[in-house]
Amino acid sequence: MVLVSGIGYSNQSDFSFGRVLYGEMAEMSWPEHVHVEDLNFGPIMIYQWLEESPVKFDKVVLVSAAKRGREPGTLEVYPWDGVLPDAAGIQACVEEAITGVISLDNLLVVCKHFGVLPEDVTIIEIEPQKEDFGLEFSPAVAARVEEAIELVRTEVMKAKRR
């Protein structure tokens, strides 16, 4: 089974990319081996949800926006390396997660630390341009929405072929 979600806050311009795409993907038709789930809540709750889920996922595909110093609108697909920070870094992520912060990086660290993520985690990430509150994406990010959804479809189909 493949778990698909978009991660982000509501009404935060380009940083809402994952959440907005989640909404679109939730309305789409997917193959039986795909489960689209809203993971836009704190990482501790996501860890608990994954731990209690009767379905164990072989692959996770997450869509998000993250400021990494790329050209705004850059869309990147990469396998998450699963590397965790040191013990103090993990503790900082858990502390931040308890406060309900919604962050792709924090979600990955917390869920990996507690052993609820499969080895196969793919990130589809866009470099944001606008950081202010609002409903609209910047033109650079808005232009990549359909491409990002197609990238999710490609990743899902790769999992089916295994």
Q: What is the average pLDDT across 121-144?
A: 94
> How far apart are alpha carbons 95 and 89 in whole angstroms?
10
Q: 3-state DSSP call for residue 152?
A: helix
Q: Render pLDDT for 76-130 as a digit per residue (tens, 0 to 9).
A: 999 999 999 999 999 999 888 888 778 899 999 999 999 999 999 999 999 999 9
User: What pLDDT, on a 0 to 100 scale, did the predictor assign at position 161?
Assistant: 57
CATH superfamily membership of 2-40+47-81+119-160:
HybD-like (3.40.50.1450)
Average pLDDT, the chain: 92
Written as six digits, the tokens of 153 are 């479809």
Taking the C-alpha atoms of residue 82 and residue 119, their distance in angstroms, rounded to an integer, is 8
pLDDT at 158: 86
Residue 123 is given by DSSP the state E
Q: How confident is the model at residue 40 (pLDDT cuts 50, 70, 90)?
A: confident
Strands 59-65 and 2-6 turn out to be parallel
Evaluate if residue 55 carries a pLDDT over 60. Answer: yes
End-to-end CA gap in the chain: 11
Percent of the chain's residues with pLDDT above 70 = 98
The neighbour count for residue 68, using CB atoms within 10 Å, is 11
**What was the pLDDT predicted at 58?**
94
Interatomic CA distance for residues 117 and 78, integer angstroms: 16
